[in-house]
Structure 1
Amino acid sequence: MKKLIIMFALLLGVVSMKAQSNDLYQGITKKLPYRQMVTPYGVQVTFSKTVHIIFPSAVKYVDLGSNYIIAGKADGAENVVRVKATTEGFPGETNFSVICEDGSFYSFNAKYAHEPEMLNIEMKDFLENEDTTDFSHTRMNIYFRELGNESPLLVKLIMQSIYKNNDREIKHLGCKRFGVQFLVKGIYSHNGLFYFHTQTKNSSNVPFDTDFIRFKIVDKKVAKRTAIQETVIDPVRSYNEILVIGGKSTVRTVYTVPQFTIPDDKILVIELVEKNGGRHQTIRVENSDIVAAKVINELKIK
């Protein structure tokens, strides 16, 4: 009986030593491999000045580690986050995280400094410096509900590729009014999403100030007369969307919308509406144009 008690005590000691040696990693929990960890950036913050961090795409989410700091998107700028200390000389470190529209995830460790070394920080788009052919080894793997099963990184690369190639796959979809020409140069499809490559050419001397662009499905019989029984499809992403098109200039934009189908008695109408003006542009897209969308089987990135 004594031997059994001694053996049990020794066993407990071994388990206790293992628990201590593994720190918080106990039971079935195991430590994450280093390659699966996102290394945080170091940022200095202060109470009397604001640190601005410029990201390569629009910010979707900001989370703070403590109430020692405040952070949020700068007014009027979707890709700039401002950070400031709420407590003068707070001890130790805190952290915050940022998720951008392109799916990139950034982690920061913040500590207090009376005079931060950098007040304006630009997070350079690492798409320019990293190998994007293997998505498993990039930090840009955050998925968003509006994109379905598609990677935000791949959506961005597809839009960039369409814009760079500048092919005119479609030659019959367009309109022209008052010196402004609006074209659909191509419709592409990939993994549940459509990509519309548009071009707006302003041949007049008066800038075209865009109020909004709208994709809507309407009945063929009422498409020209009324807006009843219409289904609006909001773009989930855009590339090179420029609202003010100067005189004698041309702008191309790629819009990403969720994939859809059009019944025989309906039509897709794309409206480009001028703000406080009357040079509105309207393109009617038949179902035959949608089903003929060019399927993107392979993305080549140079």
Structure 2
Amino acid sequence: MKKQIILSIALAFIINKKAISQKHLIPLEKQDTLQVSDIKTTHLLFDQRIKYLDVGSPYFVADTTQQMVKLKHIGEELVDVRSQVSNLTVITEDGGYYSLVLSYKRFLDNLTYKVKRTVEFADAVKNEVEKEEEKSAELLSLCEKLDKNFNNKIHIKNGKSGDIRIRVTGIFYIKEKIGLRLELKNESAIDFDIDNILFRTKLNKRLSKDYLYQERVIHPIHTCTEDFEIIGNGQKNVTLLFDKFMLNEKEKLSIDIFETNGGRSASINIAREDLLKPKVI
């Protein structure tokens, strides 16, 4: 079984031929293979409705009914070892991922399995979700601090070509993060919907043809602004957070803003010297 998930499987045993059954639960921390017969049907019961199912071999067939999977081997070409092994993948509606190795065996005692996530796996998922929530809350807190520290001496403007004016109105350094605040002004009567803001390193000037240079794209880890529409003759402030980065002595930071379903764009550059003098919060 793949290590993405550990299954806890409880077995229900049939104890006589009159279908009078008694549950004898045996929790298994790991089960490397699930045996499937060609003369009896194996049933897997899940806690959630099944969203996706896949069997890796045509010699094993599967059917689903809400929260149950029915498995059977077709009983053909049993002399071929390849027909006796496969795998089963199940995804439930709550996002649960299950992967089992299947093997053929004609005579089986155990035919019904209750499939659950173990506590260890559930705790791991919960911890991962909590970490993401904590990270998101921390980034939102940093955005609020940047909003409160609006005053900044830096004012970098772009050229006068085009309808969109850009000013860099803030460069900040806070908790190992770099914050950039951009003021965008739409000088046309047509609304400007921002499709993408691209940050990349560029050389300050062209060097010799023998000099090889690879641009780097700097990806923001969080955008403090939710609305990316600049109404006609209006303006918008956009604040972004980055993991700490720095340019070398020959580089500048280039910022390009592109329009959704349109041909308009605008660019501005930030010198290395300006990035080295952020407002520390």
Query: Please, what TM-score do these two structures have when normalized by structure 1?
Result: 0.47
> Between Structure 1 and Structure 2, which shows a larger proportion of strand residues?
2
Structure number with greater CO (CA < 8 Å, separation at least 6) is 2
TM-score normalized with structure 2 length: 0.50
